[in-house]
Chain A
């Protein structure tokens, strides 16, 4: 069957890139990040999601080669 790590990895990578990009795009908007105590959570969470997504994809494809 399908390896579930592939869709998870893909989705987290895509959304990660999207949120990181949005974070950079809105970096100068201090009013928007006033809520989050001045932290640009979009960049942090975006990168975290991208890294998680890539790890998932890495393990999914590493296993495939072995089989």
Chain B
């Protein structure tokens, strides 16, 4: 499975590293206070923040994982990009962003503090900070392992060098540098993977040829012939598609709970919109991000589907290496495809694209961790503002910089822990991902129901999380051999596939959280006055048209309609 690189491939990589660090270097002189460093001075144009928004989401584990899922589930994987992203992104842009941006909160935990109370903020800030460090550690470990196995690089060296480059540019230029580099990385990911899609499609005889080759594979597995090339057609029952989930599970689990939980409340993503230059720009950020998002499946999922056809055609000599457990190591799908089709030159570009996706994901984690630690933990509990704005700005800038170094060192540490106790890390990450669905319930109720109280929000968040945990401990996907996948208390129910378990865990978290928050709101007293809630709650916020000077396509609503139409066309085309 070794891929050999030549001098030109290394040269392309080095040029990329120089540009990434160079951007940080040029931005360093603009970093005069904490506001510039941690919030990018709220000065980003909508298109820059919008591309960064989508680039942060396009981390290395996402790219490798989604190509692998393409090979496992076929076109059904696009549900993660279409129904599982677009409606949530439109909702975030049109209905939530005015309150997020208008509240002047600098982070999602801070929004919780403004809308609810201190304890709700603390709970969210601490869970979020731990989650970001874990996530960047796990992806760093995966990347270094990949570089060791495939490119033959030294594990420690690739880990430290990639971490130090990210540290370099985020330390120098803070959030601005992370965002600028994410835009650069976005274009590199697209251009770097583009030749792969064209060559692979050409090889299998285009979409028509691909369909013909996948039909016998689908029938052999007991599915209808076109299962791998359709999205909704075969979701009548869970057993009729490889995803193992029926249409209402996809619609409610993925299309509502998981996607709204992720896109509307994950500070890692939302922070990019907070950095926009105006409220109208902030509302456009998720919509500008949604435009490329809808087409990314053709770049990373379609090659995975082609890999499925290739691996069943002995003449192609295409093999996915096995993982130690005996199954196929699906995460290597994209690398094996790069090896199959790309000659020296564009191969370097493809590998650089993977490195770029790793960096955009990691810098996202680092900059979000930074902001939450500095503002929501350090400024709130350790050293409050003194009132001297200038001195404070300098002080928190210094803290932000130190936090960048500490955050990256913690990520490196967790990467080594992941190497030693991989299962424990996977388990922790699963657990922390349970926080999103309850968080969405609590923020949504807070924005649209002025009565929702702080106590109710806190307990809604906590109990939603704990019950999701309980569900995970009592159920298990079929064939799971380790307790990491669930069933660590007892096994009351067995799901046909892991995906179904994930969906239902999130649905339970959301339902419990909503019920608890509504229930407790009815029996507790609202401590916040209407004046305090102005700008945070829909009913108490005067609606001003800040975009009436813009042309229809420049307004958020115009863009939202455009995104919605493209989404519908794609859904129908690949129904």
Output the least CB separation between A53 and chain B (Å).
10
A18 to B9, CA, bound (A): 11
User: Contact between A32 and B344 (Cβ–Cβ < 8 Å)?
Assistant: yes
User: Contact between B195 and A41 (Cβ–Cβ < 8 Å)?
Assistant: yes
Q: Which residue of A lies closest to B16 (CB)?
A: A11
Q: Which residue of A lies closest to B339 (CB)?
A: A35
Question: Which residues of chain A from 25 to 44 have any CB-CB distance to chain B below 8 Å in the complex?
Answer: 26, 32-33, 35-37, 39, 41-42, 44
B191 at the interface (CB under 8 A from A): yes
Give me the interface of B with A, judged by CB distance under 8 Å. Answer: 8, 11-12, 15-16, 19, 22-23, 26-27, 30, 43, 48, 176, 180, 183-184, 187, 191, 194-195, 199, 202-203, 340-346, 349
Q: Give chain A's interface residue range (CB within 8 Å of chain B).
A: 20 to 34
- A14 / chain B contacts, CB cutoff of 8 Å: 15
- B22 / chain A contacts, CB cutoff of 8 Å: 7
Q: Which residue of A lies closest to B26 (CB)?
A: A2
A10 to B8, CA, bound (A): 18
Sample of 9 more A-B contacts, CB < 8 Å, known A4-B48, A8-B183, A18-B12:
A7-B180, A11-B19, A15-B349, A26-B343, A35-B341, A35-B343, A41-B342, A45-B195, A49-B191
A61 at the interface (CB under 8 A from B): no
Given contacts A7-B23, A7-B184, A45-B349, whether A36 and B30 have CB atoms under 8 Å apart is: no
- B11 / chain A contacts, CB cutoff of 8 Å: 18
Q: Point out the residue from B19, B176, B345, B349 that lies within 8 Å of A7, measured CB to CB.
A: B19
Compute the total of residue contacts between A and B using a CB distance below 8 Å. 91
A18 to B13, CA, bound (A): 12
Q: 4 closest pairs, A vs B, by CB?
A: A42-B345, A11-B19, A41-B195, A4-B180
A1 at the interface (CB under 8 A from B): yes
Provide the main secondary structure of the chain B interface.
helix
- A45 / chain B contacts, CB cutoff of 8 Å: 191, 194-195, 345-346, 349
A43 to B161, CA, bound (A): 31
Given contacts A1-B176, A4-B180, A8-B183, whether A23 and B191 have CB atoms under 8 Å apart is: no
A7 to B22, CA, bound (A): 9
Q: Point out the residue from A4, A19, A37 that lies within 8 Å of B184, measured CB to CB.
A: A4
A2 to B28, CA, bound (A): 11
User: Contact between B8 and A36 (Cβ–Cβ < 8 Å)?
Assistant: no
- Would you list 10 pairs from A and B whose C-beta atoms are within 8 A, ordered by A residue? A2-B27, A7-B184, A18-B12, A19-B345, A35-B342, A36-B342, A41-B195, A45-B191, A46-B345, A52-B187
- A11 / chain B contacts, CB cutoff of 8 Å: 15-16, 19, 184
- B183 / chain A contacts, CB cutoff of 8 Å: 4, 8
A38 to B289, CA, bound (A): 36
